[in-house]
Structure 1
Amino acid sequence: MTTVVPVGDEYDVLVGHGVSDRVPDLLPKGVQRVLVIHPEPLAHLAEPIVRALRQADVEVHEAGVPDAEAAKTVEVAARLWSVLGEAGFTRTDAVVGVGGGSVTDLAGFVAATWLRGVAVVQVPTTVLGMVDAAVGGKTGINTPEGKNLVGSFHPPVGVLCDLDSLATLPPRDIAAGLAEAIKGGFIADPAILDLVEADPVAATDPRSPVLREIIERKIAVKADVVARDLKESSLREILNYGHTLGHAIEHHEGYRMRHGDAVAIGMVYAAELAHRSGLIDDALLARHRQVLSTVGLPTTYAGAPFDDLLIALRRDKKTRGSLLRFVVLDGLASPRRLEGPSEDMMREAYAALA
């Protein structure tokens, strides 16, 4: 059975087992060439996609890239632009991203910038990619100054979430991906939290219908928000819950920390800010630590002086001038922005993470 989650009227996200070979069905008419981008260790996951494209008489080019955040650099993007140029890709050709969130971010960015935009199909192979990075059209690469500071909004023409690709995913990577799903539970769909709390073992089992339901619910949350606010003019900022401090920590750690781990810490920090602002009670603050820790996600951090993180916080995409802005909760499933919290409050909230 394949579940179809529409993202407004723009495109669909397909979730099921053995669906990755349906990439040709999602391509616009007239595509003659496709560049399949994948991490070098995941060439085997790209094989059925390449085979299906060739059977559909499409000229296929493959490009292996580094794994994880190492793929999201201007040097890697420039190499891929060269591949597209040498192969004669035109505006009616396409890119396919196969891999985790870093690769789908990169593939989307390359597609957005080649000839000012060609079609892209995303095939996320991790929980993180499925529930967040591949859906919504946010693309980007990193710079020495911070994460995702260079990017573009470029919606895919379709997303294929093949649950079979999760079978060999390390448990820690599944848990890290769940951080983004749990985020969706806190900001919009508390049923996700209930599912994780009721059976954390099933929530981290790639063969479990529980994990599938969590994935589908989080995709639905993101699809609803993105359909109403593609370019993050207002509503879409709620999807950054936990990301403000999370991105600062990732940058400080040289991107060696899993994105989901950093976001988990960032959500606890946001909850501490909300609690100190009188927006959430003790129980909801405690629930952040409880639900995250039950699947093995970190809820504490003392790996950097706050002054170092503050530099990165001031570069966050939600910052306006010198005004720091955080996504917080005003109750369960009731996100809002907290603008200009005092530096004392931010330091106290950070101290609580230790």
Structure 2
Amino acid sequence: MQRRKQPTTITPAMMKRVGGGYVLRKTPITPAEQMQPRSISEMARLRRKNEELSRLVSDLTVKLDDSAKEIVQLKETNDDLSCLLADTTKKHLEAVEYIDCANKTIQHLQDQLEASQSRNLQYEIEMEKAVKENEEGRQEFKEWITEHQQAKADMADMAETRSRLEALKAFMEMEGARYHQSDEKLLATDLVDNDIDTSKEELPYTLNDGYFLKERYMEECAYSYDSSTDECAYSQDSSTGLYAYSQCSSTVVCIYSLDHDEGAAALQDQVYTLNEIIDSLRRKVNVVENSLETCEFEKEILQMQLDRLSTKDT
């Protein structure tokens, strides 16, 4: 026996207005339905329906078992995926850490690269400076070589000048000896006339020697190196002395032509004067020799500097 189900949905018809609101209407009470006997067809229909429900339950049970198996497989797959996800997450974290470490390494390498570029720039500047200094050193070395060659040429000229000075020194010594001999001859009264004749004969030779020596030692002034002023003065003094000697010789001849005694006294004074000139020339020759030694010393110093520069370049 089935009971009639009470409606659970509230509709407007079930409500009534009371005062300012609504209340639920009371439902009428119906008598209970009486049990009616079921027919055979209804029993068959219910049997078929039960069989269908049994089959449906069996199918649902099979499907439920399959679903349970699928759930188990899905759980296993989920566990595998969870493990894989955990491994992937761990690898991802490791990759992130590796990337951070790589970024730090890259930043460090960039800093080192910038520092290396700065050092390279500084090295290039120092290298350009060194190349410039090397070029200046080469130019200075070339200048020293030129000065060395010029010093060699000057030393050759000074050697020639020294030989000329030696010749002049020998000539002056010979002239001094000859004047001493002339002085001795003048003291002998018996040979006065002969000396006058000899002086007359030597007069042109003496004058020519004076002018020749004057021209030659005027040329030597152009070849001197450090002691050019001394040599020039020396040449001028030498030429002047020789010229004075020639003039004195001429004066002696004239004096001897005028008066024998007065000529002898004047010639004696001129001989003393010439001796003083010879001594002065000797002193100047010594000064020139000292200048030559100084030049040789400077040449040796310059040669040492050139050798040191050559060793440094090699």
* TM value normalised by structure 1: 0.17
* TM value normalised by structure 2: 0.19
**Which structure has more helix as a fraction of its residues?**
2
The structure with the larger Rg is 2
